[in-house]
Amino acid sequence: MQISFNSIGTAHPNTDNIPRHWSVSDVEGTLTIDPQYAEALADITVGQRIVVLFHFHKSPPFSPNLLKQTPPHRQRSMGVFSICSPRRPNAIGLSVLEVLSCNANVLGVRNMDMIEGTPILDIKPFVDKKANLPSREETD
């Protein structure tokens, strides 16, 4: 089955020194969303955490020899679905970012682990299981 996605915007970190994972990143930058989608940012607020799905656009093509990889911080080979490698069957990344500002179609964010020009595929609210969960009507 063929599936295709279109970018809704691009990532712009304030540095070229990008950590390997959002959970260890203090990097700030912006997500510039295509103006046609600006209205979709209407209820995103400063301080909120958002889930950003993106395309690892600089990753080399995936091949079966990459089903197991040795992450730089591990001493053993692991299955690609149990690690955060950008070398995946579908080059999709996920980061949880803190919103610092919302200006028209540009979000200022922190905890970036995306390189300059990374295509953004989608943005979703981060829902913390420990926090009060929104009702079904609030998430639809």
Rounded Cα distance between 133 and 129, Å, is: 7
Give 117 or 61, the one with higher predicted confidence.
117
pLDDT value at position 72? 81
**Per-residue pLDDT tens over the stretch 73-115:** 788 988 888 887 888 888 999 999 999 999 999 999 999 999 9
Helix then strand count (H, E) for the chain reads 1, 8
pLDDT over threshold 90, residue 129: no
Q: Give the model's pLDDT for residue 138.
A: 54
Give 122's contacts (C-beta < 8 A, 6+ positions apart). 8, 52, 53
Query: Domain ranges in the chain?
Result: 9-126
Mean pLDDT computed over 2-12: 95
pTM of the full structure: 0.84
pLDDT at res. 126: 94
pLDDT value at residue 85 = 83
Of 2.40.30.70, 1.10.3470.10, 3.40.1350.10, 3.50.50.60, the CATH number of 9-126 is 2.40.30.70
Express each pLDDT in 19-52 by its tens digit: 888 988 999 999 999 999 999 999 999 999 999 9
Phi, psi of 119, rounded to the nearest 5 degrees: -70, 130
How many CB atoms are located within 10 Å of the residue 53 CB? 15
Q: How far apart are CA 7 and CA 31, in angstroms?
A: 12
Coil, strand or helix: which one is 22? helix
Look at residue 54 in the predicted model and tell me its pLDDT: 96
pLDDT band at 60 (very low <50, low <70, confident <90, very high): confident
In sequence order, the β-bridge partners of residue 122 are 53
